Amino acid sequence: MHTTNYYNTFIAVADDCPINIAEVPPQKGDDKTVANIQFEMIGGDPYKYTSDDILFSVYKMKNKISENEVEREREKFFSKGQPCFRSSPLTKRYGWGVHSNAEGKIAIYPVESEEYKKLSNDENLKCVKAMRSKRV
């Protein structure tokens, strides 16, 4: 089984993130975007979910997976590698840093906040950048 979970890690926004102040991802039409679902789950319950929990929940919602199929589909989903939060629209486009604690549970912090600055400079955390949207 593959995992996207990080531990004691801070994912800073991408170098080419187009904004300096974090934005709540806008909803497009009636359907929620990946960014909307991620933002609502993490923002509403910081340090409740792991990256794997969030990414599979988005997949489950987008693919309308029924409750009796969840266990089998989760196993199938993580049987191959999945993109982690370094490729999330929250970190690449909307200006949110992602902190993973020692248990792998995550929370988000706006790029302009004191908490973001503190986490991005914390020597006890591994700090990685979100993936760029454009090639250099």
Question: What's the pLDDT tens digit per position in 68-115?
Answer: 999 999 999 998 888 888 999 999 999 999 999 999 999 999 999 999
Residue 125 pLDDT greater than 90, yes or no:
yes
Q: Cβ–Cβ contacts within 10 Å for residue 6, how many?
A: 22
Q: Where are the alpha helices (DSSP H) in the chain?
A: 34-44, 51-62, 70-77, 89-92, 114-120
Report residue 13 as tokens: 């926004």
The answer, as to whether pTM is greater than 0.85, is yes
Residue 1 pLDDT greater than 90, yes or no:
no
Q: CA 117 to CA 122: how far, in whole Å?
A: 9
Q: Cβ–Cβ contacts within 10 Å for residue 28, how many?
A: 10
% of the chain with per-residue pLDDT over 90: 77
Name the residue type at position 117. K
Domain definitions of the chain by residue range: 9-129
